Chains A and B, each alone.
Chain A
Amino acid sequence: MPNRNFTAENLQLKDNIDICFKLNSRDVKIKVPCTYTLLDILRYELKHTGTKEGCGMGECGACTVIMDGGIVNACLVLATAVSGRDIWTIEGVSAKEDAKPIIDAFVAKTATQCGFCTPGMIMASYYLLSKYKDPTDEQILEGLSGNLCRCTGYAKIVEAVKAAARELNGAKKEARDA
Chain B
Amino acid sequence: MLRNFKVLMPASLNEALYVINNIDRPFRFLAGGTDVLVRLKDNPSYAQALIDISKIGELAKIEEHKSTFVIGSGVRHEALLAYAPFIENYNGLIEAVSAIGSPQIRALATVGGNIGNASPAGDSIGPLMAFDAEVELRSQDTNRIVKLEDFFTGPGKTVLKHNEIITKIILPKSDSLKSGWKRLGQRRAVAISKVSVTLALGFAKHSNGSDRVNDVRIALGAVAPTVIRARKAEKFLLENQTLTKAVVKEACRLVAKEARPITDIRSNTEYRSEMCGVLLGDLIEKLACAR
Residues of chain A having any CB pair with chain B under 8 Å: 1, 3, 5-7, 10-15, 17, 33-37, 40, 56-59, 61, 64, 67, 70-73, 75-81, 84, 124, 127, 142-143, 145-147
Contacts and interface: CB of A to CB of B under 8 A. Distances in A.
B241 interface: no
Nearest to A35: B2
Contacts of B30: 78, 80-81
Contacts of B18: 1, 3, 6, 11
A101 B276 CA distance: 46
Interface string B180-204: 0000000011100000000000000
Contacts of B102: 58, 61, 145-147
B161 to A, nearest CB: 18
A59 B190 contact: yes
B224 interface: no
A7 B33 contact: no
A99 B55 CA distance: 30
A146 B103 contact: yes
B41 interface: yes
Nearest to A145: B189
Nearest to B15: A6
Given A124-B103, A146-B102, A81 B54 contact: yes
A78 B14 contact: no
A58 B4 CA distance: 21
Nearest to A146: B102
Contact of A70 (B8, B15, B50, B78): B78
Q: Is the interface of A mostly helix, strand, loop or mixed?
A: mixed
Nearest to A64: B104
B265 interface: no
Nearest to A123: B104
B158 interface: no
Contacts, number: 123
A-B pairs, 10 with minimum CB distance: A146-B102, A145-B189, A13-B6, A34-B7, A70-B107, A146-B104, A35-B2, A80-B52, A10-B9, A73-B104
Interface of B: 1-12, 14-15, 18-19, 30, 32-34, 37-38, 41, 49-50, 52, 54-55, 78, 101-105, 107-108, 140, 188-190
Contact of B103 (A6, A40, A145): A145
A17 B9 CA distance: 10
Contacts of B140: 1
Contacts of A61: 102, 104
Contacts of A147: 102
Nearest to A73: B104
A10 B14 contact: no
Contact of A35 (B5, B55, B103): B5
A71 B104 contact: yes
Contact of A37 (B2, B78, B190): B2
Contacts of A14: 6-9
B1 A58 contact: no
A72 B6 contact: no
A22 B54 CA distance: 18
B71 to A, nearest CB: 19
Most buried by B among A67, A80, A124: A80
Given A76-B34, A76-B108, A145-B103, 5 more contacts: A35-B5, A37-B2, A76-B37, A127-B103, A142-B103
Given A35-B1, A80-B30, A146-B103, A5 B9 contact: no
A123 B132 CA distance: 39
Contacts of A142: 103, 189
Contacts of A13: 6-8, 49
A77 B82 CA distance: 22
Nearest to B105: A58
